[in-house]
Every structure is written in C-alpha cells, then in structure tokens.
C-alpha cells in the first residue's frame, strides 16, 4: 500500500471511497466542498494494487480563547472501502496525515471519532482540556471530540474550536 497526496485525477475515486464508506454521500460532498473552497490543507489517498482504497482529509480550524495563537486543523473524514476495512489502511492514513500536519506547522489536530480507535494515535478527549465546539453543546464530557498536540512543547489551555464553514452543511 502507498499513501500519497491526492492528484486531480483522483477526485472521482476519492468521492467513491467516501460515498462507499459512509451511510450517505454527505462526507463525499464535504470533501468536494472543502476542495472547492481551497480548504483541504492535507488530502491523502491510500493506493493498493493500483486502486484508491482510502482517503483522509484535514482542514484548518479557527480557535477562540486562550489557545487562539495555536494553529489547529481538523481531521475529517477518513474513509476506507468497506470490503477492506480493519486491515490497517485507515491507520496508515491517520499516521501519514498527522505527520503531514506536523510538517505544515500545525499545533493541534481535532476530530470527532470513535473513542476506542483514535487514542492509539495519541488523541485524548478535548472537553476535559477546556476545548469546546458546536458539537459539544449541552451536558456531558463528549469523549468523541478529541485533540492531539503535535509538538511536546504545545501547552493546551482550551478555547472554542470551529470547523471550516463547509461542515455546517454536514
């Protein structure tokens, strides 16, 4: 398997992977909207035997509050074709994406995801660290909203985190 940045000729295959991996085409349409708006900071594909089998996207986020000086990015979505899930393709995409975000100078990666999957990459619940988003309104600790600091020296103090406006239509 090879992980590489997306190319223009990959767009249809990326759409197909995202559409197949989720119950609706909303995530596939989100990726297209982020691309159209110039908001795909990192967009990687996984190729296996000459076929695109996975995709991961990262888009810049805005932060308000104590950590507004930090550069934040959101991981969403990550998709692998259903018939080859649970074979490590998604994990390799996540690791390559995190590395790419670090090289681009981002400080924090946020995501909404499975609480049993993402901690293996270092993600921790964001709400106990003082972070909020439109996805954490109401009571509770919202453990699926997670953050990963990309540098050991990053001091996390909290704040309100906003995804790109394209997420509002999701």
Q: What is the pLDDT of residues 63-92, one digit of tens each?
A: 999 888 999 999 999 999 999 888 889 999
% of the chain exceeding 90 in pLDDT: 83
Between CA 68 and CA 92, with CA 113 as vertex, the angle to 5 degrees is 95
Q: From the CB of residue 130, how many other CB atoms can be counted at a distance below 10 Å?
A: 15
| Contact indicator for 53, 89 with CB cutoff of 8 Å | yes
| Contact indicator for 76, 33 with CB cutoff of 8 Å | no
Mean pLDDT of 22-43: 96
Q: From the CB of residue 38, how many other CB atoms can be counted at a distance below 10 Å?
A: 8
Q: From the CB of residue 23, how many other CB atoms can be counted at a distance below 10 Å?
A: 7
- What domains are defined for the chain? 2-169 (3.40.630.30)
pLDDT, residue 53, reads 97
Q: What is the pLDDT of residues 56-71, one digit of tens each?
A: 999 999 999 988 899 9
Specify the pTM.
0.94
In the predicted model, is pLDDT for residue 106 greater than 80? yes
| Contact indicator for 81, 20 with CB cutoff of 8 Å | yes
| Contact indicator for 42, 58 with CB cutoff of 8 Å | yes
């Amino acid at each position: 398997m090879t992980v590489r940045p997306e190319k223009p000729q990959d767009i249809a295959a990326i759409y197909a992977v995202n559409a197949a991996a989720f119950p609706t085409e909303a995530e596939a349409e989100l990726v297209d909207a982020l691309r159209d708006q110039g908001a795909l900071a990192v967009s990687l594909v996984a190729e296996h035997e000459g076929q695109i089998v996975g995709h991961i996207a990262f888009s810049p986020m805005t932060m308000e509050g104590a950590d507004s000086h930090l550069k934040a990015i959101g991981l969403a979505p990550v998709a692998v074709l259903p018939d080859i899930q649970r074979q490590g393709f998604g994990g390799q995409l996540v690791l390559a994406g995190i590395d790419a975000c670090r090289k681009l100078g981002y400080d924090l990666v946020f995501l909404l995801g499975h609480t049993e999957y993402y901690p293996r990459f270092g993600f921790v619940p964001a709400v106990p660290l003082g972070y909020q988003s439109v996805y954490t309104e109401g009571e509770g600790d919202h453990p699926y909203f997670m953050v990963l600091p990309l540098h050991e020296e990053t001091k996390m103090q909290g704040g309100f985190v906003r995804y790109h406006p394209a997420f509002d239509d999701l």
